[in-house]
Structure 1
Amino acid sequence: MAKSQEWETTDVLICGCGPTGAMLSGYLGKLGVRNIVLEKEPDITTDPRGIALDDDGIRFLQGLGLYEHVFTKMGSNMPKSEGNTGHVGVLAHKQPILEKYLRIAMKKAAECELRCSCELTSISEDKDWVYATYKDVSGTERKIRAKFLAAADGKTGYTRKMYLEPKGVELNWAEQTKYQETWVALNWHLHLPTPKTHPTFPLWDLGYTPEQVYDLFFPNDFRFLCNPVRPAVCGRFGRPEDRLWRFEFVIMPGEEEMEMAGQEKVREVVYPYLTHPGSRYGLKEDVEFPEDCIEVLRSRPFRFSARSCNKWALDRVILCGDAAHVFPPFGGQGITSGFRDAISLAWRLSIACSSNRQLDYEHLFKGWYLERKQQLDKSLASTVHNGDLVNGSSFMHLFIRNWGLWFLQLIPSWKHWLERGPRGEGPTQYIHSPGMPFIPEYNGGLYFPQTYCISLQKNAEVQFTDDVIFAEKRSHSRSWYS
């Protein structure tokens, strides 16, 4: 291997600055671990992809000091969603804004450095270092070495596809199912019709305001449209004033993907949901939301599957986020799962980078991904179950689902459990295996709780317990279970 002076050196090289890579970098910075992030794109994409973040994800943003921006800049809470961490159950966010503030958190740490428009070209290792080459924004090839390389470069990224798969790392089907489907994902920016812009819209004469019309056609809650012919999901995301709407529908066998994402097919599939029967309002004619108030931000097909790699770490190279596992779209777990990877990996990397003795880092990282797989399997199972529930088309499935859900809502406690969804079961309790950092004999593996607290000082502000316990500390303990 080349001499050390020929290679730029850092502790951790992170490939990819999407949500997972940025979260990992931010937490490494808080722990004092030098890291360089290589991002292929020149800037944050303006296209919102993921739109949901559960209460774990909000808690992780809080840990980076970003909580004040969660509901003022990033998004809004989904109604009736309850969490287990002192936060609401689900944040309906705008991903570009989420990523913007993650990068702001990175910039506050001297140990973090982001390099955009950089494309990885090679990886190699010896017993002490992992070496990488990349092309920078000018096309010049650069050399860098790190103690560890963490790949958050997505399901088609260079690290797994070109480096680890030839070494036996595989992206396997999840044990629960071989789910794979293609859906069209639409992002719309909506504009309010008004009596001035749309004087003939029939609901003005009935006393409806523009805001009420918006709420009628685009309800505040997120919805699974259990259409046996073509399942779909839809809901608002971002801040209320953003007026952003997501609609996704499945592409059936034999249909051409790009054609189904085209304007004609989208209108055929989606606009019946935006047309209300006139009888609902005592009118003879149906009422359709004005098409010229819909601005299409995105309409494209996405292939979803439920998969996880057999190994997430090999020697000094580690996979996290979509590079290690991919989710169907039914549970809003994609970004949060990447966050969980980053949080639990960061303190382990800190130990591995700072240890003065010979450390069995392979054992350390194997314990990490076996731990993560326990929670991931639970999330995948609930996500696939959601999909099975809404995608069923047989008469018996529809009968049992529809009447079962109706019956559950007759009993208040069951209705509340149903509204909470998978989070109503509480956090994962981990089962110990070698390499996991807790003592099972003392009931270790439980999720570390968070609640509100206040000091005994007069006029003290209410705070989250995480912010008090971990305030200004560079600690290896921030994994949120004990």
Structure 2
Amino acid sequence: MEHVLPTTILQSQPRLGTWIAANLKIALPTKESHPNFPPWTLGYTEEAVYDLFWPANWHFCRPPGKPSACGRFGPLSERLWRHEFAVPEWKYRDDEGSSEAITLFWESLTPMITRSVHVSRGETLTVTFPRDCIQVLRCRPFRFNHKVVNKLFSGRIALIGDAAHVFPPFGGQAVACGVADAEGLAWRLAILTELEKSNRITIKLRSIALQSWAEERRLGVDISARLTLQNGEWCNKEPSWFDPLQILLLKLLLSLSRARLALPPVKAAARGYSDCPQGAFLADYGGGGRLGQIYVQTRLPQSKDHH
């Protein structure tokens, strides 16, 4: 009898600090609801105002002040937004201090939705997007963790993506690892399905095939975790005079990468799965490599927007 995967045992990496996350729903101000809103005098439409104060591109940055991440999510027509920012000074329990979280949220968001608008003859007004057009759906503190289930498959059940591993956002590895999970599992399932159709499949053979996938993916997840932790430490630490020197050293390392010099996590990623002893490849013949991560943009039909 086959058993379902245990999901209660998790392996966790060190926490990367406390952040506050808020989910927002944005309403458009109109000339009727906000007649004295300065952008109307400059010919802005309602949609143009939204694009001005809530840019379409995802932002993850270290502005002057606290690290923050913000951007649109969900259907564009819903105008949903997520805003996250670091709060290293947070001293409340996760189930307390909601009013404090809201206060800190507005302190963080307000400068980001404030613009300098040139009116006429060099006159500039400081304009903030109307607060009554921002509905806070949820606002709570949370802590980043990297978690991986202790077993990726059991019998005919397998976990991939966020169901198998949870990443902080500092390395952009969550979706990347989910795609790699699916790619490595897909061709194995195709082979196992054909063997099953011809009655040549056995429980042992299926377990061997899936175990090689699990070991490859666990290696890939561990590499991604180290990259994420490295980026997270950069994003969350307090600014100091040493930062410019660190950036200079990092640029120097990157410039020397042509001479096969790189940071350890980068070098490990470049080796692909070649360090996996039971991977499904011929290591003696150079097998075990994997494609580098790439960034893809698509253009929807009859649309100027990239997604």
When normalised by structure 2's length, the TM-score is 0.69
Q: Does 1:263 align with 2:102?
A: yes
The one of 130, 138, 141 equivalent to 2:2 is 130
Cross-structure match for 1:223: 59
Q: Give the drift of 1:271.
A: 1.6
What are the ranges of 5 or more consecutive residues in structure 2 without an aligned counterpart?
Answer: 253-264, 293-307
1:392 aligns with 2:226: no
Task: Give runs of aligned pairs for residues 206-355 of structure 1, distance below 5 A.
Answer: 206-227=42-63, 229-252=65-88, 253-257=90-94, 258-260=96-98, 262-277=101-116, 282-283=122-123, 285-309=125-149, 311-313=151-153, 319-322=159-162, 324-348=164-188, 351=192, 354=196, 355=200
Contact 2:68 2:84 in 1 (8 A): yes
Question: What RMSD, in angstroms, separates the aligned Cα atoms of the two structures?
Answer: 4.0
Distance 1:305 1:342 in 2: 23
Residue 455 of structure 1: aligned partner: none
Question: Are the aligned partners of 1:251 and 1:260 in contact in 2 as well (CA < 8 Å)?
Answer: no
SS in 2 for 1:224: strand
Using the alignment, how far apart are the partners of 1:205 and 1:444 within structure 2?
A: 64
Counterpart mapping for 1:132-147 below 5 A: none
Contact preservation (8 Å) 1:224, 1:233: yes
**Partner deviation per Cα, 1:163-208 (whole Å, 9 max, x = no partner):** xx4xxxxx3344xxx2343322222222222333321011222333
Rounded to whole Å, the distance in 1 between the matches of 2:60 and 2:129 is 20
2-structure distance, mates of 1:277, 1:366: 58
Match of 2:305 in 1: none
1:430-458 C-alpha deviation (Å, 9 max, x unpaired) = 21544322223443334479xxxxxxxxx
Shift in CA distance, 342/284, structure 1 to aligned 2, threshold 3 Å: closer
Aligned amino acid, residue 130 of structure 1: E
Of residues 275, 278, 297 in structure 2, which corresponds to 1:435? 278
Kindly tell me: are residues 387 and 361 of structure 1, through their superposed partners in 2, closer, same or farther at Cα, counting changes over 3 Å? same
Secondary structure at 1:298 match in 2: strand
Query: Residues 229, 255 of structure 1: CA spacing in aligned structure 2 closer, same or farther, 3 A cutoff?
Result: farther
| Structure 1 residue 172 corresponds to structure 2 residue 172 | no
Moved more, 345-354 or 379-388: 345-354
Q: Which protein is richer in strand relative to its size?
A: 1
The offset of 1:227, in angstroms, is: 4.1
Query: How many percent identity over aligned positions?
Result: 37
Quick check: 276-285 or 293-302, which moved more? 276-285
The CA distance in 2 between the partners of 1:347 and 1:243, in whole Å, is: 38
Distance 2:131 2:29 in 1: 10
User: Structure 2: how far apart are the matches of 1:301 and 1:382?
Assistant: 24
CA contact (8 A) 1:180 1:306 kept: no
Which residues of structure 1 form unaligned runs of 5+? 1-128, 132-148, 152-158, 166-170, 409-421, 450-482
CA contact (8 A) 1:160 1:323 kept: no
Deviation at 1:367, TM superposition (A): 1.7
Structure 1: distance between partners of 2:247 and 2:39: 31
What is the distance in 2 between the residues matched to 1:404 and 1:234? 29
Is the CA contact (8 Å cut-off) linking 2:16 and 2:233 kept in structure 1?
Answer: no
Instruction: Output the TM-score relative to the length of structure 1.
Output: 0.47
Seen in structure 2, the aligned counterparts of structure 1 residues 391 and 358 have a Cα distance that, compared at 3 Å, is closer
Aligned counterparts of 2:76 and 2:270: Cα–Cα separation in 1: 29
Counterpart contact for 2:72–2:79, Cα < 8 Å: yes
C-alpha displacement of 1:255: 3.9
Structure 1 residue identity aligned to 2:131:
E
Deviation at 1:311, TM superposition (A): 4.7
SS in 2 for 1:344: helix
